Structure 1
């Protein structure tokens, strides 16, 4: 049987070998007709076996566990039978890359052709991978968070945080053995060869690799090289050869020899887009609610903003606290109060008498606010959806723990279960809370510790109680409920206070990039161009506020930033046109 050349030696193909038909023929009569007839029978049998071997035999076993979509079955089949050595699953967000990889692993397990499997994921996703592989595919993997996990040298089917695997404690054990199959989720994190994650994967010994990412290209076509080279070393040549042959130096959104590059990528990458599938995604309804703050809330916002502007210096250690205060003041007075309380109590902080007095004045304003405008409006939103939906399941996101506590306290009187999720919970603890939320209904009040990677299609109402200034974080929140398996319209409520930085971000910036109709990949394309130039989006928002001497100047600053965003959007669209030029040439249904 032919052997596959892989990253670290050879490993057997999935298909089985059969005897050379000539061996059987020699035992027969030398009569030409009989020999010919026998050979034809053998060839027919060989074709029949080969056809059977190139079917997904395990589908029958799991048909009652999961409904596999056509594009997912085709992706798994192609990865197994059309690609030698592994594949990059690069479907757009929400199309089920985890399911496609799971189908590949199930088929290997069903055929008993592989023994050792290592799945590496972001920390918060490891338990979810474990649960999905168990419930949907009947695959029993141990997770590094399990009590019975005995180390990377003690199990043959492991799901682990990639950061746990690369730690000093575990790295040697991970690298000391050869894995038949390595899986890497969120593979775009290894596009940079100067990271410890990349170094781990580069040194890891494995026979076949299956990586998953919705954004194989983030800044330019060169991003693909490191990812692909880990899966199929040498297929794109050396990095220098790749750059010389395919990359146009003057424009990273242009390539040379596109047909040749398409052919090579088609051997190792599978990419489906939403519009290419037969999935009927539900509508996303966005409700933007800008509320007039109370007089005390306006006074608090102005006091905090004045304090931040007067005392901020990027060279001073306090700049992080001031940055946080500006974000907290539109979230809740309780978040502001808690930060000031810690700041003043820290005796190592050299606060002047003037600063301490200013902070105490801010706290006195907080003391005069019994119940916030957002608390009142949130209750109204929940009461409304409770009347319309009946069994209510809504998730309310906030960035700050004191705000989370205040939200929970204000809605407990609505006779609905309230579920609290934040960074104090382990990955397993968060998994249990999500399951409880699904079973009991009610309201989940969550911080962004749960905003990425969790599946909550059973919930179709999401409230952004406060808005992260980074639109990627907003879309990551929405992505928890707006994904495959969501069978109801999704309702997103955005809450903002009039006349605050939050309103400017919502209307001026998010409006310019049409945030709520963007895919997460599109947002990443837009923002990566700003980050590539050395600018951080949230920091830039803050700087616009800090430098404005008047309301008019502030509006002008945000207008300028909006223009930059529009330019980034056009550049991202150009990159997407380039992506389509590369990806749309793929013939996913044929052997290459």
Structure 2
């Protein structure tokens, strides 16, 4: 007879006991050892086994080892921390390596409301959109609803997603890019696609959008997709159009779950916003959202919150984010530097005046002059490079580089642009001046040093953003001379993305007990893709960006969720002597700041750049004086008026959009209670810390306390534990933080931290297997006197398994597990959970003689079968009923039509039993 096993059943196979997990297909068993972890799962076919597979029981053995109070308490904590398949309504809680903020659970609840989740998460920069999307993904995976997924993102974000999925959610995904795809596809069978072989992928949008790959991906694409930087997929630019065609093809499958992320969903462009919404529902491309009924429909799919909404509103998340102090730092140019800028501007204006009547020729002249003037304003080194790089055939590429708009399809370009001017004698004079100034004293660099000195003295770690590669190298060398004791590095586009990440991570090197202070000089290749909040707390805009969104991106690398500093500073440097800086401040940055204050968000420049270019040139000419006639002749004032009008329209549209779609429906009281209940069951970060402290002491290697941190000397543990930890990447001495955000060079000590997990699994294994860590003395029975009880009390440590059936469009049967500590006096349960744990944790008042201890333990063992069939079975059944109510309550709050039934697997596993006597015996 063939036995049928379902998730939660105990199975005897290959000479040991296992618990059955959800099987990949009928007739096959997925089994996890009772004393093992999720990585020890085996897949087997009962028909191919030499010894038959049979049902099993888990009983407290007659030869169970005896233990003392402290070790019994340690075992109870270890059991609770090893379980990963939570029975509560937040199934994913046991898998997370961080404590999500309550507001970050809102998109998850919104996703659970929908039959087919399709969401646009449009929260502000730095709130944690990656975390919010990851929570949805992890929860649906743990509910058995997602077994494959793809994250689609710009190429510079691929590595960041791989790291976030691994470190925060315990998900190992593979990167699919132009550099990795061929290697991943090598040796695959012809009938198998890369996405069949690798179910968890992070895919470069620019790799997969190509027509030759797009159709194949649409056929193989998993039914759960996350799209990061979704706003970069809906423009009219060729690359954006290819991305939109890709997403539109994926969205045609009505069963595909899609979560899109963007901090700039609207940006004043109604058409682009409509295209974005069409990926949720094709009807949204054309509906009138002034109509309340349509807004209500969209509100089920769109969450859009500014940081101020979370800090000042009901969520009270003030400490989730640092305070942000913004200042401006004007500096004076020397006579020589000012004369050089004046000469460069005169030359450029002369070129513009000779451009002729053709609009195209005028525009090319404008772009070329603006490109050169950007370099002149950045540094003599950048100006020298630009002046040498003339006779370019890439004039059409100048405009996006001038306005810092090169991040959608490639890294931000930080090489000095080629000019489009002919080789003439006037250029030689500028070259000579730039060359001499590049080795002279630089007033801008001196101003930077004066800005940084008080910050460095106060302990700050700044990032200095420059526009051009030559400027970054010039600044790096200058700062190394000014601050010889600090770690100072530069990250520019000369480095590959991996080299940039390595260069930043290497700056965590410490000098003895004190972190070495650091300064990072970076170009805008680092304004997206690598989060810097763990290492840096200050941003200096050495060069003004001509795109206000880029300023926000720079600051967003540091000022974001997870920043350990309470205060983040950003400093904008400019020279009031410079016509270039003055024009950019007047035309772009000041107006962008006015809009940000009015709307709460940064609105990008209007898409049409002609009026912006005209306005900049007009402002520059008028600041210089004597060029009024040229301004009138070229009708540049018309561009100024046109730009003002278009930006004003964009601002109004953004305000209207924010007012329409503000996410105010869900309140903290609807989210927090269920999550807090889960935390109590699984153990808080503080519980994990106490466990690791006690466990390391038991292993003879106590944690070393240093200020607010702990150091775990893993290298001093016994060999079997060292090997287990080494397999998880934990070696030598590990710095541990006990509260988020964790400082740089440390990791947050949670229940999923490799150290916590390895210690907990080892202790449970040692209690169940006499041969595992025999010297530790972790047993499963014991007896001792304690002031915690006034009558003889038996504490029973249970591992309870449940069969969860989710009744929805596709019925799924899942395994869930909980640890429970139950205190009984006679046949009556007198305490559970924290109250019972307090009894167990109360130190014994004395040691019992072995004969007395054995007698108490043996008497309790003899009564155990009655307890299991009576009060303990009733407790487990009641707990199953409570879980049904918990699931129903959360699903009702989420508006979900599905329901969950919970069946307790009886009898529960008795991991330990301890007899507590009142006082001293």
Which residue in 1 is equivalent to 2:568? 490
Unaligned segments of structure 1, at least 5 residues: 1-51, 247-254
1:538/1:95 Cα in 2 relative to 1: closer, same or farther (>3 Å)?
A: farther
1:561/1:168 Cα in 2 relative to 1: closer, same or farther (>3 Å)?
A: closer
Return the alpha-carbon distance in structure 2 between the equivalents of residues 508 and 488 of structure 1: 33
Residue deviations 1:432-464 (CA, integer Å, cap 9, x gap): 233233555411111111113432223121111
- Kindly report which structure 2 residues correspond to 1:532-571, keeping only aligned pairs within 5 A, or say none: 535=610, 537=612, 540-542=615-617, 544-545=619-620, 550=625, 553=628, 571=649
**CA displacement at 1:341 relative to structure 2:** 1.9
Secondary structure of 1:324's partner? helix
Return the alpha-carbon distance in structure 2 between the equivalents of residues 321 and 130 of structure 1: 40
Question: Which deviates more from structure 2 when the two are superposed, residues 218-227 or residues 270-279?
Answer: 218-227
- Kindly report which structure 2 residues correspond to 1:173-252, keeping only aligned pairs within 5 A, or say none: 173-192=216-235, 195-204=241-250, 207-219=256-268, 221-234=270-283, 236=284, 239=285, 242-243=286-287, 246=288
Q: Does 1:473 align with 2:550?
A: yes
1:183/1:478 Cα in 2 relative to 1: closer, same or farther (>3 Å)?
A: same
Which residue in 2 is equivalent to 1:42? none
> Are 1:305 and 1:326, in contact at CA under 8 Å, matched by a contact in 2?
yes
> Are 1:513 and 1:566, in contact at CA under 8 Å, matched by a contact in 2?
no
**CA displacement at 1:328 relative to structure 2:** 0.8
Give the aligned length.
514
Return the alpha-carbon distance in structure 1 between the equivalents of residues 328 and 122 of structure 2: 32
* CA RMSD between the two structures: 3.5
Which residue in 1 is equivalent to 2:378? 331
**CA displacement at 1:300 relative to structure 2:** 0.8
**CA displacement at 1:560 relative to structure 2:** 9.0
**CA displacement at 1:507 relative to structure 2:** 5.3
> Are 2:266 and 2:654, in contact at CA under 8 Å, matched by a contact in 1?
no
> Are 1:284 and 1:492, in contact at CA under 8 Å, matched by a contact in 2?
yes
Residue deviations 1:491-527 (CA, integer Å, cap 9, x gap): 22222223212134235642344369659973326x3
1:544/1:577 Cα in 2 relative to 1: closer, same or farther (>3 Å)?
A: closer
Return the alpha-carbon distance in structure 2 between the equivalents of residues 136 and 350 of structure 1: 49
**CA displacement at 1:586 relative to structure 2:** 5.5
- Kindly report which structure 2 residues correspond to 1:19-418, keeping only aligned pairs within 5 A, or say none: 55-62=89-96, 65-82=97-114, 84-145=116-177, 147=180, 150-151=184-185, 152-153=194-195, 154-168=197-211, 170-192=213-235, 195-204=241-250, 207-219=256-268, 221-234=270-283, 236=284, 239=285, 242-243=286-287, 246=288, 255-257=289-291, 259-277=292-310, 278-280=316-318, 281-312=321-352, 313=355, 314-315=360-361, 320-343=367-390, 356-369=424-437, 370-389=440-459, 392-413=460-481, 414-415=483-484, 416-418=486-488
Secondary structure of 2:601's partner? helix
1:539/1:345 Cα in 2 relative to 1: closer, same or farther (>3 Å)?
A: closer
Of 495, 502, 522, 2:581 maps to 502
Return the alpha-carbon distance in structure 2 between the equivalents of residues 349 and 542 of structure 1: 17
1:105/1:456 Cα in 2 relative to 1: closer, same or farther (>3 Å)?
A: same
1:218/1:495 Cα in 2 relative to 1: closer, same or farther (>3 Å)?
A: closer
* Structure 2 length-normalised TM: 0.51
- Name the structure where strand makes up a greater proportion of residues: 2
Residue deviations 1:79-125 (CA, integer Å, cap 9, x gap): 13445332221222222111011011111222333222111112211
> Are 1:513 and 1:565, in contact at CA under 8 Å, matched by a contact in 2?
no
Return the alpha-carbon distance in structure 2 between the equivalents of residues 381 and 161 of structure 1: 39
* Structure 1 length-normalised TM: 0.77
Unaligned segments of structure 2, at least 5 residues: 1-85, 186-193, 311-315, 394-417, 510-515, 668-892, 896-921
**CA displacement at 1:336 relative to structure 2:** 1.1
- Name the structure where helix makes up a greater proportion of residues: 1
> Are 2:117 and 2:258, in contact at CA under 8 Å, matched by a contact in 1?
yes
> Are 1:331 and 1:403, in contact at CA under 8 Å, matched by a contact in 2?
yes
Return the alpha-carbon distance in structure 1 between the equivalents of residues 648 and 366 of structure 2: 33
Question: Which deviates more from structure 2 when the two are superposed, residues 502-511 or residues 361-370?
Answer: 502-511
